[in-house]
């Protein structure tokens, strides 16, 4: 028994780079949860024979948003099968979806698109132990604070019988057809049928209402588009692109920006941003404040564009006008090489982590500008070759 305990402590601390054992960590969580009102009985059941799942750390470090380009990411998520299933889901659940849409102001096809990306319309909601996933990620030092809060939130939900003790979810601790984190269930979950539970696995009324309530609280504006595909003129100053740079639609039009099909933009004083997820050679999008709302659900631009595009296609819209670009994908190690090289050249990307975030994009933009490339901030294969 001593040998087994010693091996477990050594294994978890060496893998997780944590100075305390997993058991000691759970003991701290137990104390905090009890202080916040969770019963000892619930914690005993949830933590019974609990061990960390190290496979989860591999999933955490290899998320698709980190190592896929726009076309690779979107084409996998807005496939013909998913599109067909989305239209069928919209049709089959029209009555309930329309009722939910009328109450919360979020279009039915948008709700269906979120479910399509989150759980393939409820067909895959994850099969990992919710408590084990959250405890593993909370024990890992990288985002311990965030996941410890989520773990305690899950215990609170279980203590009130809102969700079951043995609830299953994704490796990241998200649950149900909408893949809500526990704090989101507490903040935005809706018991639409008033049965005392927020059933995000089986009850469509709860599922649709929770998703719509979340989007409404995030700021969804009824009757407004998320944005549209755009076409950028030659010799455009790509330093104007990015979510932080806003202009009215009229101002973008004055700079020569068109709709994706080449027609004129509508006359509008809507504030908007121009984004180029694959740089100047890829597609461009003019995005409005409802796109910011989608980003509130998931901070990945690729995810937000996929939801937006899928929702348009489910509604009956056509394919993107931009031509597909086929280029090699960058690995996490490739991105770290880019970050290290830019840092050595004096362009600050922060601590290299293999994730192409805002700081890396800004450093890339400055480097591109200095050597005469189009300063679009795109971290792709061409940049990797240049820096090689």
- Segment 267-302, tens digit of pLDDT: 999 999 999 999 999 999 999 999 999 999 999 999
- List CB contacts of 365: < 8 A, sequence separation 6 or more: 238, 239, 375, 376, 377
The three state secondary structure string of 97-152 is: HHHHHHHHCCCHHHHHHHHHHHHCCCCCCCCEEHHHHHHHHHHCHHHHHHHHHHHH
Can you give the pLDDT at residue 68? 80
Domain 2-61+125-218 has CATH 3.30.390.30: no
Residue 66 has pLDDT above 70, yes or no: no
Domain ranges of the chain: 2-61+125-218, 227-315, 332-387
What pLDDT does residue 57 have? 81
pLDDT of 337 higher than 90:
yes
Give SS3 for 175. strand
Sign of CA dihedral 312, 318, 324, 328: positive
Q: Which residue has the tokens 């005993």?
A: 44
**Does 357 score more than 90 pLDDT?**
no
356 pLDDT band, cuts 50/70/90, is confident
* pLDDT for res 3: 38
> What is the pLDDT at residue 14?
45
- When pLDDT is averaged across residues 360-388 and rounded to a whole number, the result is 94
- The proportion of the chain whose per-residue pLDDT surpasses 70, expressed as a percent, equals 93
Contact 260, 228 (CB under 8 A): yes
pLDDT digits (tens, 9 = 90+) for 83-140: 999 999 999 999 999 999 999 999 999 999 999 999 999 999 999 999 999 999 999 9
Question: What mean pLDDT value characterizes the chain?
Answer: 92
Q: What is the pLDDT of residues 175-199, one digit of tens each?
A: 999 999 999 999 999 999 998 889 9
Say if residue 319's pLDDT is above 70.
yes
Pick the more confident residue, 320 or 62: 320
Q: What sign does the CA torsion over 228, 108, 220, 125 have?
A: negative
Cα distance between residue 186 and residue 158, in whole Å? 11
User: Using an 8 Å Cβ cutoff, are 213 and 104 in contact?
Assistant: yes
- In the predicted structure, residue 336 carries a pLDDT above the cut 80: yes
Residue-wise pLDDT tens digits, 3-60? 333 344 434 444 555 678 999 999 999 999 999 999 999 999 999 999 999 888 876 6
Cα-based distances in Å from 251 to 230, 267, 363:
14, 10, 27
Do residues 286 and 228 make contact, with C-beta atoms less than 8 angstroms apart? yes
Q: Under DSSP, is residue 272 helix (H, G, I), strand (E, B) or coil?
A: strand
């Amino acid at each position: 028994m001593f040998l087994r305990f010693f091996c477990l402590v050594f294994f978890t601390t060496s893998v997780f780079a944590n100075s305390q054992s997993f058991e000691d960590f759970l003991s701290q969580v137990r104390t905090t949860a009890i202080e916040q009102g969770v019963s000892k009985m619930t914690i005993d059941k949830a933590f019974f024979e609990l061990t960390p799942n190290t496979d989860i750390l591999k999933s955490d470090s290899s998320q698709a948003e980190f190592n896929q380009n726009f076309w690779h990411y979107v084409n996998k998520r807005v496939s013909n099968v998913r599109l067909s299933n989305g239209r069928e889901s919209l049709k089959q659940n029209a009555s309930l979806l329309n009722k939910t849409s009328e109450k919360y102001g979020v279009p039915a096809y948008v709700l269906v698109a979120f479910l399509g990306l989150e759980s393939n319309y409820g067909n895959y909601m994850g099969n990992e132990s919710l408590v084990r996933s959250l405890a593993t990620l909370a024990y890992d030092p990288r985002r311990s604070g965030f996941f410890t809060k989520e773990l305690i939130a899950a215990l609170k939900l279980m203590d009130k019988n809102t969700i079951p003790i043995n609830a299953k979810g994704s490796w990241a601790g998200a649950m149900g057809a909408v893949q809500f984190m526990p704090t989101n269930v507490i903040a935005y979950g809706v018991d639409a049928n008033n049965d005392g539970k927020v059933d995000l696995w089986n009850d469509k009324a709860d599922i649709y209402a929770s998703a719509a309530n979340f989007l409404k609280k995030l700021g969804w504006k009824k009757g407004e588009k998320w944005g549209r595909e755009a076409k950028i003129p030659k010799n455009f100053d790509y330093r104007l692109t990015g979510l932080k740079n806003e202009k009215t639609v009229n101002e973008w039009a004055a700079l020569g920006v068109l709709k994706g099909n080449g027609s004129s933009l509508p006359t509008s004083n809507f504030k908007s941003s121009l984004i180029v997820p694959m740089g100047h050679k890829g597609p461009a999008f003019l995005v409005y404040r409802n796109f910011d709302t989608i980003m509130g659900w998931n901070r990945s631009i690729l995810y937000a564009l996929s939801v937006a595009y899928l929702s348009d296609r489910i509604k009956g819209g056509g394919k993107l006008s931009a031509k597909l670009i086929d280029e090699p994908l960058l690995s996490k190690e490739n991105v770290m090489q880019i970050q290290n090289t830019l840092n050595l050249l004096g362009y600050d990307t922060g601590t290299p982590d293999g994730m192409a975030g805002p700081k890396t994009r800004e450093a890339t933009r400055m480097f591109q500008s200095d050597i005469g490339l189009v300063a679009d901030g795109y971290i792709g294969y061409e940049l990797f070759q240049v820096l090689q």
